[in-house]
Structure 1
């Protein structure tokens, strides 16, 4: 197998097309296409399904990408080390993250990471579906409360707690035992919130006056005084501190842990480990409102996801 052809295949597969691969590598599309065809002929399989608009990996292409991508990354990083360079992370780093986290923080986190490591190129895909690092060609996936049965490893970088919040004007109008108007997500069920205050759990009734599909819309409606709503502490900490919102209570069982994960089949590349370190460093042990974000602790030795 021609390693140059294999490297060009990985370049095209990672960037999902010849045009983007050409821009990133500075090599003509014709050269990339020729080497991919040579690799297909050498292996006796089709690696891409092509039409006039799309380029998709075949099943055989997915297998080749999964089995060889990490190997060539390690070879490239070994070459950098042997040439006496700084060993700084470089190349494309593809990240999959939940939409909400991307919207409220990942842009600035990514920008500060690139200032530290300018040889890296970031591609952040915001989506709430369960992506596969191997099948979808991601270096890092960010997940909320991931299963311990996952074959991925990584770091927990954020612990948070969901809480019911409201505008001060609305909170002042509601009497004890009165039903709260609420703003909820479209898939929310029930008309009672169970809130914890210390060791005590109390229930408050609420009436959804607005159903929306996005958490940011919940926050904006709650800020306007439309109703109370459930939001993560990270999202409302500044508003609570400024007095624009007040906390009604912490949602019982509302703990949230956010993890940055990557495949466990091999040692993580320098660009992956540096991003995880940077991500953890972006959430230091600050003192947050009770029931909100807790300081990031060292990863547990008993957690199977810890690398």
Structure 2
């Protein structure tokens, strides 16, 4: 199959006509029409119906453009990168990231990345759901403890752990039998025992406050509302200032943050640059979130 003919077909289909496609590409309408005719001849099917009202994709044309549009974009981007010396990151980078990480980190990360790569624009969607990178046209996704996925590749760039914290005025129980403590917990989640430091201290959280956000739980803990189980990354500032005291670590739980992209697409320079940027930002893999 002639790749140039396929590219020209996609160009005409995207612009819904020969005239617009010609103006956008600088190629003549006669050339575009001939290329499409050659492609139809190779495939043995009509791809475009021509009428006085313009052009309309046939059912076969709709199937072809739906299957070819994404991969074609990657091939064109890769060819352009090769022609320009392979390497300059450019274009729009779409990133899906968890809500909390987005709120506390992605604003700074996005601004710093664009400063380092001025030919890239960045769009971040804060979502806790599992977005489909291909169907929803994302370049990369940041995920916590992602499940193995043969379609995605990437790197772990930071790690976090869960700690039990409380305000200095809240008495920490002594090690021994299971100890009950007033607690601040997530809404609609039944709390389980908190086993700290390899089981040397086991706490039975008795919920007094229920919240749907780690930030609200942290702020309630600072205000003396009880003990709370939090990612260390969002409590480090309060711990450093003495507003919270760390009672222990849930050593069996570790959160790994990964930056992922699809293995079915060529990794564009902008994607490679973003993955490297995220890993360089956390050289010791220690996650610290400000907010």
TM-score, normalised relative to structure 2: 0.74
CA distance in 2, matches of 1:246, 1:225: 11
Is 1:152 matched up with 2:152? yes
Equivalence for 1:72 = 76
CA distance in 1, matches of 2:6, 2:248: 62
Is 1:281 matched up with 2:280? yes
Matched residue of 1:81: which SS? coil
Q: Relative to 1, partners in 2 of residues 1:257 and 1:203: Cα closer, same or farther, differing over 3 Å?
A: same
Residue 59 of structure 1 and its aligned partner are, at CA, apart by 8.1
Equivalence for 1:119 = 119
Matched residue of 1:169: which SS? coil
Residue 227 of structure 1 and its aligned partner are, at CA, apart by 1.8
CA distance in 1, matches of 2:214, 2:15: 36
Matched residue of 2:129: which SS? coil
> Alignment length, in residue pairs?
248
TM-score, normalised relative to structure 1: 0.71
The answer on whether the counterparts of 2:195 and 2:202 sit within 8 Å (CA) in structure 1 is: yes
Residue 62 of structure 1 and its aligned partner are, at CA, apart by 5.1
> Which has the higher Rg, Structure 1 or Structure 2?
2
Matched residue of 1:128: which SS? coil
1:189-225 CA-to-partner distances (Å, cap 9, x unmatched) read 2352121x2x544311111111111222212222222
Matched residue of 1:189: which SS? coil
Residue 166 of structure 1 and its aligned partner are, at CA, apart by 1.2
Residue 138 of structure 1 and its aligned partner are, at CA, apart by 0.6
Is 1:265 matched up with 2:264? yes
Equivalence for 1:190 = 191
Consecutive unaligned residues in structure 2, runs of 5 or more? 17-23, 25-31, 37-46, 49-54
Is 1:104 matched up with 2:108? no
Matched residue of 2:85: which SS? helix
Equivalence for 1:164 = 164
Q: Relative to 1, partners in 2 of residues 1:2 and 1:264: Cα closer, same or farther, differing over 3 Å?
A: closer
| Alignment root-mean-square deviation, CA | 3.1
